[in-house]
Structure 1
């Protein structure tokens, strides 16, 4: 593993991962408010490592819903990770399956945004770079979760501090830095309209899946990047 590329990945993910500090804090707080202990909240972040599905699961738990509804909703929310893998996979042909498995386990919205941009700028695919970025992101997310869970009983009204908007703001930031052409703006607009319709018909889960599939379909048909 190239140590210089590993450190480079850690440095370049930090601005993105740092934006997720508030998300981790909010998740830890909400997990405690839903009745989970510090250990249970930490296992969520350590084993799942997918913010949106973690928030969805905690929301269902807080409503007394457990079992298959949580499994189905989180499966649908995380379906976009399959698209992330399909996007990056061709760049790593010939890579050992176990290395790809580790890379896939650390692949989330933040790390994909960085890795896709890294490759789009013409950089050579590097497992060392991706490992550094993923390790830093994973560490920051889990430290933030722990802090939020530890102090979760102090904050009872996250809305009063605007913390409920942190997760949305993070994704808006990802969108803003990737709107680099008129085509991207049009795709984002179409996906947003479809997502709104999906939310009206079936809630947040349907909105996310519908919006994602719309953007992917437009990109596949047009052939543009």
Structure 2
């Protein structure tokens, strides 16, 4: 049973993870353009495994900014992962902490989107299913990073190919499939307005945090689901 759920998780994450192939390649390309070697770019994806913070870090490195500014900005940018954990955690109260730690290490935007949808459909919580999804997503992301890092010195104008929009398009896809009620539309609209205001005031990191907080507050204050 566990093996079949593992395979099921791998299969169902593929459409989502495949959308991130371009993202991984773009990250590999940008990492090389920022002066990182193939090994360094790969270690980024192997150890961090969080696309948005990786892009933010490479952007800072390309500007000559290193050290604590990278740590602080990526920490704030990834603060939303705490919300992911809080959303999934109650479903696994009887699971050993070390197993949850392993699952948390592979929890990102793509895998959370699939897992949340899986549970919302009434399926029973399954570590095997989640492990399968996370494994496939991890392999695809790192393979894409490797491809981008290898050919990173060939493509020097990613914007002219429209590749800089790939990461945004992936998240718009996540949003589109989850707008299933007027409540979701209201939350998305308000979060978007606040995020835009945050971007105007303090840039991308502030925008992500402000938009996330707005959505969480609306969810906490409303009894709708």
TM-score per shorter chain, which class? Answer: over 0.9
State the Cα distance separating 1:223 from its structure 2 match.
2.6
Residue 119 of structure 2: aligned partner: 119
- Relative to the length of structure 2, the TM-score reads 0.99
- Listed as ranges, the matches of 1:128-139 within 5 Å are 128-139=128-139
Aligned equivalents of 2:14 and 2:124: distance in 1?
Answer: 20
Give the 3-state SS of the residue equivalent to 2:27 in structure 1: helix
Aligned equivalents of 2:223 and 2:145: distance in 1?
Answer: 40
Establish whether residue 75 from structure 1 lines up as the match of residue 113 from structure 2: no
Residue 201 of structure 1: aligned partner: 201
State the Cα distance separating 1:137 from its structure 2 match.
0.2
Establish whether residue 145 from structure 1 lines up as the match of residue 166 from structure 2: no
Aligned equivalents of 2:19 and 2:94: distance in 1?
Answer: 34
Aligned equivalents of 2:223 and 2:142: distance in 1?
Answer: 38
Aligned equivalents of 1:89 and 1:179: distance in 2?
Answer: 23
- Runs of 4+ in structure 1 deviating by more than 2 angstroms, as ranges, are none
State the Cα distance separating 1:94 from its structure 2 match.
1.4
Number of aligned residue pairs: give it. Answer: 225
Aligned equivalents of 1:216 and 1:182: distance in 2?
Answer: 16
Unaligned segments of structure 1, at least 5 residues: none
Aligned equivalents of 2:183 and 2:59: distance in 1?
Answer: 35
Give the 3-state SS of the residue equivalent to 1:64 in structure 2: coil
- Listed as ranges, the matches of 1:48-59 within 5 Å are 48-59=48-59
- Relative to the length of structure 1, the TM-score reads 0.99
State the Cα distance separating 1:120 from its structure 2 match.
0.4
Residue 16 of structure 2: aligned partner: 16
Give the 3-state SS of the residue equivalent to 1:85 in structure 2: helix
Aligned equivalents of 1:74 and 1:205: distance in 2?
Answer: 8
Residue 185 of structure 2: aligned partner: 185
Aligned equivalents of 1:3 and 1:192: distance in 2?
Answer: 40
Give the 3-state SS of the residue equivalent to 2:91 in structure 1: helix
Q: CA RMSD in A?
A: 0.6
Aligned equivalents of 1:22 and 1:197: distance in 2?
Answer: 28
C-alpha deviations, 1:176-221, integer Å up to 9, x for none? 0000111000100000000000000000000000000100110011
Aligned equivalents of 1:213 and 1:121: distance in 2?
Answer: 25
